[in-house]
Amino acid sequence: MFDETLLLGGELPVRRLGYGTAQLTGPGYWGPRGERADAVAVLRRAVERGVTLIDTADNYGPGLAEELVAEALFPYPPDVVVATKGGVVRTGDSAWHTDGRPERLRAMCEASLRRLRRETVDLYQLHRIDPEVPLADQLGTLVELRDEGKIRHIGLDSVTVDQLTRARALAPIASVQNRFNLTDRESADVLAACEAAGLAFLPWFPLANGALTGGADEALDAVAAAHGASRGRLALAWLLHRSPVLCPTPGTGSLAHLEENLDASAIRLGERELRALR
């Protein structure tokens, strides 16, 4: 059994199985993927199905994913929590540049608020720590924005345990977003640190970026078959069982795939099955 909800930052209730917007944009998260109306329909259906955590980023598109969130959901239902990210600049479909300078972080956050049509972003995540800028300056800017009412909670993306520890000494941190899934558990130590501190952990690539659908895995296939589920649906269910702080936000531009992903919350894995998947 598992609890389907979590208090983000100790006070914002969210359903742990959320929705991520990266797949609403084109290859390399650059430009549009398909028809705008289809993306809007997927976002609206996610909320109809009970999703309350929408995870996006300013560089998905860039800017496009945030615009789609606002187009689909504004005015926002009162229980919907929007998370976005800043700190990475895009100049092409394969060009990612970390930029944690205070003036850029402030400009990025304010641009996200305009695109999202919000006065406050519920969770603003530092997409990457910029090694060229003191961490105190980067987080200090986010604290200033929080104090101004533009950010409600602060999160981190792709950090080590040491970085998380240093960050928590500088600012209140509500969440971490690292790569973690059934076949990639390299961030298990960061997950353990989040559990100990009561921080939400939003695993990116919760479906291993499609890798879970290939290869042979007898244990995984046997458990999936027992539940009449696909590997992907089972992998999401495993995340929900793995830790009470895990909040997977799988993304898709397909209504059918969205329904399949969200059905993962109905799967209940027994101890024997969980041992088989370890």
- Catalytic residue (one of 19, 60, 76, 124): 60
7-214+243-253 to CATH, choices 3.20.20.100, 3.30.1490.20, 3.40.50.2300, 2.60.40.60: 3.20.20.100
DSSP annotation of 248: -
Strand partners, 92: 95
What tens digit of pLDDT does each residue of 88-124 get?
999 888 889 999 999 999 999 999 999 999 999 999 9
What tens digit of pLDDT does each residue of 184-201 get?
999 999 999 999 999 999
Is 60 among the residues known to form the active site? yes
Q: Where are the domains of the chain?
A: 7-214+243-253
The gap between the terminal CA atoms of the chain, to the nearest Å, is: 17
What's the average model confidence in pLDDT over 142-163? Answer: 98
Q: How far apart are CA 28 and CA 121, in angstroms?
A: 25
Maximal C-alpha separation, the chain: 53
The pTM (predicted TM-score) of the whole model is 0.96
At 208 the pLDDT is 86
- Length of the chain (residues): 278
- State phi, psi for 260 to the nearest 5 degrees: -60, -45
Contacts of 250 (CB under 8 A, 6+ apart): 19, 20, 206, 207, 232, 236, 261
Q: How far apart are CA 164 and CA 245, in angstroms?
A: 16
Strand partners, 5: 15
